[in-house]
Structure 1
Amino acid sequence: MDETTWRSATIVWARASDIRDFTASDLAAMGEGQLARFRGLKGERAAAFLTGRALIRQLVLRLGGGPRVPLDSICPRCRKDHVAPRTPGFVLSVSHAGDLVAVAASTEPTLLGIDVEHDSAAARVSELGPVFPAASVPDLAGWTRIEAAIKADGRGVEIDPGDVRLRREPGQDGPEPDGPGPAGPPEWSAALPGRATPLQVATLPGPTGYTLSAARG
């Protein structure tokens, strides 16, 4: 398990093959709903789900939670089990890219979202012109920043990615750097329709061959 930090969030990632000591019994201890959801998945999706829950448990325990890590991911609007997992005392976000899973956790009462994409997804993102009729198509890093902001916002598919407006924070104009500077990674503000205050977004050092961004509010 590797990790990075940004503001109040700790972000870890691992592949399904890296997690060997987390079983369905461990998952059941986090909630019968989690086990039921796992049993409805197959193949890579099932392995990624189990890996994500294992990372959540490890991270929450390390950050002072526990001894149990109960999870709830029931949507308060539709009552289906599909939203970002919740556990008392923490804000969580999960993202998958094939067999790689990233998890972010914060003990602060903040909005939080992450998105990770394999670098090979850049070609797919470049074809998203119809999604951005009023703006230029973002590169892969920009796309992950938009996705992270939408996850942090919490309204999911209600937000059209083409309606999210990213703006570099004051004093950070110019070409995007290859990595974080002395003061940390460059940051953007993300304005979403229907939200009065913009979210803070950054692209972070992450797993080799992947692009990782996080958002908070």
Structure 2
Amino acid sequence: MGEVTWRDVTVVWARPSDLQGFTETDVAAMGQGQFDRFRQLTGSRAQGFLAGRALIRELVRRIRHSDEVRLSSRCARCGADHGRPRSAGVSLSVSHAEGLVVVAATAGSILLGVDVERAAADTRLDGLRPMFPDGRAPDLAAWTRIESAVKADGRGFEIEPSDVLLQASDHDADPRVWSALLPGRLKPLDVTTLVGPPGYVLSVAVG
């Protein structure tokens, strides 16, 4: 497992195969909705879900100083348990890439998003170009900044990635911090690309 901290956000990552001790019994202890969601998954998706919940449990326990970790991931649109995970007193975000799961967490209630991509994901870049018809398709680092900002915003697929504007922050002296301007949001989000797991590109957004 790896870990990095930016501001008050802790980001951890692991390969699902390295977290074999976390089982469906542990998922059930986090809430019936979590167990039901897990039972709908198979193969690598089920393994990735278990790994993500194992990392969430570790971080929430650390932040709240409590062994009990209950989660809700109810979707505000349809009511199913496939939304972003939530736990009282903690802000969370999860991202999956081939062979890796990443979780970001911080105490309190803030806008928080994390995104990760394999650094060698050439086919991913090819798939991004049609989303940016004006020819300004991003590289992977910029794409993870866009995705983390969209996740932090919470509207997800309602926002076109090409409508997210990344520009140098006008309030942070660190050149690694960008401002992400999203349609319909007056205040920009702060986003940065971190040094994370080798072979992957990792970005975090907060607001």
Task: Please confirm whether the aligned pair reaches a TM-score higher than 0.5, indicating the same fold.
Answer: yes
Correspondence 1:186 to 2:176: yes
Corresponding residue SS for 2:85: strand
CA contact (8 A) 1:146 1:161 kept: yes
Q: CA deviation digits over 1:44-67, x for unaligned, max 9?
A: 000000000000001111223422
CA contact (8 A) 1:8 1:108 kept: no
Correspondence 1:111 to 2:111: yes
Q: CA deviation digits over 1:69-89, x for unaligned, max 9?
A: 100000122212121100001
Give the C-alpha shift of residue 135 in structure 1: 5.6
RMSD across aligned positions (CA): 1.7
Segments of 5+ residues of structure 2 without an aligned counterpart are none
Give the Cα separation in 1 of the matches to 2:103 and 2:53. Answer: 9
Task: Map 1:80-99; keep pairs closer than 5 Å.
Answer: 80-99=80-99
Letter in 2 for 1:106: T
CA contact (8 A) 1:51 1:101 kept: yes
CA contact (8 A) 1:164 1:191 kept: yes
Structure 1 counterpart of 2:60: 60
Structure 2 counterpart of 1:179: none
Of residues 71-80 and 126-135 in structure 1, the stretch that sits farther from structure 2 once superposed is 126-135
Letter in 1 for 2:184: G
Structure 2 counterpart of 1:155: 155
The one of 181, 190, 196 aligned to 1:200: 190
Q: CA deviation digits over 1:13-64, x for unaligned, max 9?
A: 0011111221111110000111111110011000000000000001111223
Q: Could you state the TM-score of these two structures normalised by the residue count of structure 2?
A: 0.94
Structure 2 counterpart of 1:14: 14
Give the Cα separation in 2 of the matches to 1:66 and 1:134. Answer: 50
Corresponding residue SS for 1:103: strand
Corresponding residue SS for 1:41: coil
Q: Structure 2 vs 1, CA of residues 7 and 75 (structure 1 numbering), >3 Å: closer, same or farther?
A: same
Of residues 183-192 and 42-51 in structure 1, the stretch that sits farther from structure 2 once superposed is 183-192
Structure 1 counterpart of 2:49: 49
Structure 1 counterpart of 2:144: 144
Corresponding residue SS for 1:11: strand
Q: Could you state the TM-score of these two structures normalised by the residue count of structure 1?
A: 0.90
